[in-house]
Amino acid sequence: MTARILVVDDIEANLRVLEAKLTAEYYEVLLAEDGPTALAIAQSQHPDIIILDVMMPGMDGFEVCRRLKDDPATRHIPVVLVTALDGRSDRITGLEAGADEFLSKPIDDVMLFSRVRSLTRLKTVIDELRAREASGRRIGVIAGAAARLAGTGGRIVICDDNERQARKIADELSAEHRPIIESDADQAHLTARGPVDLLIVNANARRFDGLRLAAQIRSDEATRHLPILAVIDPGERPRMVKALEIGINDVLPRPIDAQELSARVRTQIKRKRYTDFLRKNLDHSLELAVTDQLTGLHNRRYMTGQLTALVARAARGGDPVGVLLIDVDHFKKINDSFGHDVGDEVLREFAVRVATNVRAVDLPCRFGGEEFVVVMPGTPLAAAERIAERIRLHVGGSPFRVAGGKELLTATISIGVAATIGEGDTPDAVLKRADEALYEAKAAGRNKVVARAA
């Protein structure tokens, strides 16, 4: 998987070395020699990863990282900090600034490329979610954008057979989060299927294979998006590389540093909440795209897709499909006499009455204006006509409370009924027969049900 990588270093030789290594692995490389240039390129070129030197004159790497993570346009871009320093305080400062990884010079090429591949996969997922959210905003089905999402208050599962180490991790995290300890991998997997923000797994556990648990988490649809932090011995480089390859989000070297643990956990939880926000907005936008906002019923677009599939199945010898086309009688008079607000109240209440008089498998939809369609799988014409009559009696038999319940308004409906007739039938033909039946019901004085066989 290729990516566009921005390399930032004030020493040209370092830039060229990294450029050569990354280009040889077929990555596209952008270069910057100082912090302000890096921020400008990040804004304009939208790189997939930023490899950022810490020790730069003027604006150092820590400050550049902080500014990237404070900007909504760039905070989702993974940042790898690189420095000749190997001090604990510098590593913690970098992680707390929002960096995703902290590598020391000379750079270990194997670890660098493992980290780049891992972060590229993550960035690809986030980019897709962001693109879909942006599309939703453009068409008006998503309002607003993500606020700054906190990295505290997370529910964390710690899977570790080393009781002392697990307790130390839990104690360190309990001030900001809600950690629970599981010593059994199967139980940890089961717990992770619930509302969990992070899994911390001991990759060097004796009683279970921590990497196998991580692989199972990634292959399970219910948990594949759960971030995983692996605790691992720093000397086991092949195991660390394998952990990143199978989808572990981050690694924490032993012995565990409390501040580094807290910083890495906050980063993972913050990112999970951001991606959850994007997924929730995506799900919401998909729901809005097929839902009528006034009545809460499905809209014509959704009805068309469902009816097409059902009619095609019926044409191949499957169960018949009944269709009701319903019109609220003299609805224009309601709007003219009482106002559009009251008209909307009538439509909302009418939708409720229709939905409560059909089966769970039936599909009531708003067709447009005051017209509604009910698609009924496995329903022949006679049964559909009986259901239509039941709906008509229920709607006309009791008045609608409008104007906040202060007034009562009586409304009636006319219904055209049709059903599939077997081979050669089409959705348009079924709807046309229902429409002709509806026209006949209106011509006969309204408040009637008319069925059209063919």
Catalytic annotation, residues: 370
Tell me the CA distances in angstroms from 18 to 83, 265, 278, one per residue in order.
Answer: 13, 29, 33
Q: Is 76 helix (H, G, I), strand (E, B) or coil?
A: coil
Cβ-based burial of 97 (10 A; exposed 0-12, middle 13-18, buried ≥19): buried
Give yes or no for a cis peptide into 179 (omega within 30° of 0).
Answer: no
Which of 409, 323, 327 has its CA nearest to residue 358? Answer: 323
Angle in degrees, CA 312, 314, 319, rounded to 5: 145
What's the rounded Cα separation, in Å, for the pair 348 and 405? 14
Q: Residue 131 is which amino acid?
A: A
What's the rounded Cα separation, in Å, for the pair 112 and 80? 9
8 A C-beta contact, residue 229 and residue 264:
yes
Helical packing angle, 427-443 and 300-315, nearest 10°: 110
8 A C-beta contact, residue 295 and residue 303:
no
For 447, residues 6+ apart whose C-beta sits below 8 A from its C-beta are 329, 392, 396, 412, 413, 414
Which of 21, 25, 43, 41 has its CA nearest to residue 33? Answer: 41
Q: Which residues face 199 on adjacent strands?
A: 157, 228
Edge-first strand listing for the sheet containing 449-451 = 363-368, 371-377, 321-328, 413-419, 449-451
What's the rounded Cα separation, in Å, for the pair 259 and 243? 22
Q: CA Rg, the chain, in Å?
A: 30
